[in-house]
Amino acid sequence: MAAAEIIGAAVGVLLLIIVAYLVVGSTLSAAETVSNAQKDITLQHEVRLKTSITLNKTGTQVSGQGLNFSVTNNGNEMITDFTHMDILMSTGGESGGYQHLTYDSTCGTEGTWCIYGDIVPDTIHPNQLDPGEELWIWATFTGGSPDWCQVTTSNGVYATTYI
């Protein structure tokens, strides 16, 4: 009988060690996951704080169903993710609605925008909007002429202008 009690106690201690190991391991894993998530969010906020764009209304042209205007990167971060940049337009004054335009590499498709021409000057990183560089956008809208436009980068920084 004494041997059964010793074996039972040994199994109990072994189970306690296994449970303690699992609890400590999962706690450390959760802490590491939270720490990495906080670090990633901090880096995203830092990039967002360094990003800034302006819309140049001077050369803006509305012709047919298209709007041509320039965007200048006046921040300290490169803007590289054009596929996740969005353009919002308000058309038709108070009675009109808003249009959401997404990026398309070819110009002219309704409901999309594209890079019209070259990024100027595009010497450091080709096909990326570096600080101080300017790109021209051709936005193809539907309905009436837009009276307001907003360009939003992939990290949430935006600039607006009345046309």
Length of the chain (residues): 163
Residue 76 tokens read as 């300290």
Asked if 137 and 70 count as a contact pair (C-beta separation under 8 A), the reply is: yes
Does domain 53-162 fall into CATH 3.30.479? no
* Distance between CA atoms of residues 21 and 113, nearest Å: 55
Walk along the chain (163 residues) and give the pLDDT tens digit of each residue. Answer: 678 888 888 889 999 999 999 999 999 999 999 999 999 999 988 988 999 999 987 666 777 788 888 999 999 999 999 999 999 998 765 556 888 999 998 888 888 999 988 888 888 888 899 999 999 999 988 877 788 899 999 999 999 988 8
Q: What is the value of pTM for the model shown?
A: 0.76
pLDDT of residue 95: 58
- Cα–Cα distances in Å, from 63 out to 26, 113, 141, 146, 163? 61, 14, 11, 11, 13
Q: Is 6 left (phi over 0), alpha (psi -120 to 50) or beta?
A: alpha
Residue 62: beta bridge partners?
67
Strand 112-115 with 98-103, pairing: parallel
